[in-house]
Structure 1
Amino acid sequence: MSSPKEPLDPQQQDPSVDTSEQLEVNLDSGNPGEDALQDQAFPQEDLSSLLSEAQEQVARYHEDLLRAKAEVENIRRRAQEDVAKARKFGTESFAESLIPVKDSLEAALSLSDQTAQAWKEGVEATLRQLNTAFERNAMKEVAPGQGDRFDPHLHQAISSVPSELPEGTVVQLLQKGYTIADRVLRPALVMVSAGQA
């Protein structure tokens, strides 16, 4: 049983007792070990050294970034120069191969009093030079024969005609085509079979 002098409810304590000093002491003290732990874990000298190390590392990263950016810019510029040179001099090899052909044609035209046989031999020699120039530069003829399968990647059909040949095959070559390094310069012009009528 409680004594008559003790209050039953803690909030009904005697108002004459002043607890404000006790509260201030408790608030000021807070957690006395926390400040000591902070001072021990991160002394001021360590924080400043960590900061200077981080700033040095950021400066190194920035310098590396600038170097990488400059290198990328140099690579881009060199690539542009290479493309420009390739465009400018890309036909140089082909042009060198055609010079002897031009020389032969000019020589044939400069000679007078030639026989038809001499003209023919000169033209054949010039054609061989031209074929050599084409081969040297990976240029090939596309000349499908009669009965060859029509290839829309290499051939261009001018017309479709009734024929005894199977449908979709070449009936007649009208004009040779040419490829250079597996790229079509000009498709072969052909007539294609529509099958028997």
Structure 2
Amino acid sequence: MQDEFKTDTPPTEAEPEKETMPSMEELLKAAELAAAEHHDAWLRAKAETENMRRRSAEDVDKARKFAVESFAGELLAVKDSLEAALAAESPSVENLKDGVALTLKQLVAAFGKFNLHDIEPLGEKFDPHLHQAIQAVESEQPANTVVTVLQKGYRLHDRTLRPALVMVAKGKD
């Protein structure tokens, strides 16, 4: 008779599962794991930054060390020409002069290739960024005009490597 009262239908409403709050120990473990992950990520980032800094310093050092490599390669032809002139058996003055002219042409071409140019200030107004005045002389030129160039100056791109040594005109009294 007891079987008559049994039903095969499941209960219509399931009992809700109880939500349990994680314990303090579980929260602490989770926080410690997260902190360890963040610390590991920070250490890796710090190491990568140090590696990048070291590589950058090495690259700058190499760039500084080998910056003139291609320029030096161009000057080797000039040196070869000078050595060939000195090695010649009894050269004539005319041959030496022609050889020196060709060697100078090679040197000027190498300078031009690397944007190294003469400063030719004769007749220009004195510029302290490009010229170094050695003396002021009486002249028919306007005051502060370059009247004599004692030594050429040179510029590399827009930077003065060596100012031209010049004499400038005095102002008329």
Which TM-score band (shorter chain)?
0.7 to 0.9
- Pick from 116, 131, 135 the counterpart of residue 108 of structure 2: 131
Structure 1 runs (4+) greater than 3 angstroms displaced: 46-53
Residue identity over aligned pairs, in percent, reads 52
Report the equivalent of 1:151: 127
Q: TM-score, normalised on structure 1?
A: 0.70
Mapped contact 1:158–1:189 kept (Cα < 8 A): yes
Report the equivalent of 2:12: none
Report the equivalent of 1:185: 161
**Mapped pair 1:75 → 2:57:** no
Render the CA deviation track for 1:143-171: whole Å, top value 9, x for unaligned.
2122x021111111111223222222211
SS at match of 1:196: coil
| CA distance in 2 between partners of 1:155 and 1:132 (Å) | 24
Moved more, 122-131 or 184-193: 184-193
- Pick from 86, 91, 106 the counterpart of residue 83 of structure 2: 106
- Pick from 16, 19, 31 the counterpart of residue 54 of structure 1: 31
Structure showing greater radius of gyration is: 1
Report the equivalent of 1:93: 70
Larger helix proportion of the pair: 1
Render the CA deviation track for 1:4-34: whole Å, top value 9, x for unaligned.
xxxxxxxxxxxxxxxxxxxxxxxxxxxxxxx
Q: TM-score, normalised on structure 2?
A: 0.79
Aligned residue pair count: 154
SS at match of 1:113: coil
Moved more, 65-74 or 162-171: 162-171
**Mapped pair 1:174 → 2:147:** no
Q: 2:114 is matched by which residue type in structure 1?
A: N
Report the equivalent of 1:63: 40
Gaps of 5+ in 2: 1-19
Q: 2:46 is matched by which residue type in structure 1?
A: K
* Cα root mean square deviation, aligned: 1.9
Render the CA deviation track for 1:23-64: whole Å, top value 9, x for unaligned.
xxxxxxxxxxxxxxxxxxx94x25444433332322222112
CA displacement at 1:107 relative to structure 2: 1.1
| CA distance in 2 between partners of 1:70 and 1:108 (Å) | 57
